[in-house]
Amino acid sequence: MPGKCKFKNSWMVHEQYKDWILKDSVDVYFARCSVCLKSFKIDNMGQSALDSHAKSTGHQSFTKNRSLGEHLPFVLWIVTIRRFSVVLYF
């Protein structure tokens, strides 16, 4: 049985992922999306999990709005505790 997939730092410079992928601060078996502000499991699917997230409706919507210049209000602070984010707006 193959082992679990861990986050790879090379994904952060990969052309397809570099604009949004981050290493999860809590668990090496998760990746973090800076666009959606959410973490997702990569332990079973590895890089395919990144592709799946990138194709998700939520990520596509956030990416589209970001490219159209529709930004969130100024983000003052983002606090992440155990993969749950609280965003404080200014």
Phi, psi of 54 (to 5 degrees): -60, -30
Neighbour tally for 19: CB within 10 Å: 11
| Model pLDDT for residues 2-46, shown as the tens digit of each residue | 679 999 999 999 999 998 999 998 899 999 998 888 899 999 999
When pLDDT is averaged across residues 66-89 and rounded to a whole number, the result is 55
- The pLDDT, as a whole number, for residue 3 is 74
Q: d(Cα 2, Cα 86) in Å, to the nearest integer?
A: 35
Q: What percent of the chain has pLDDT over 90?
A: 50
Task: With H, G, I as helix, E, B as strand and everything else as coil, classify residue 90.
Answer: coil
**pLDDT confidence of 1, banded at 50, 70, 90?**
very low
- The reported pTM is 0.70
Q: What percent of the chain has pLDDT over 70?
A: 69
- The pLDDT, as a whole number, for residue 31 is 95
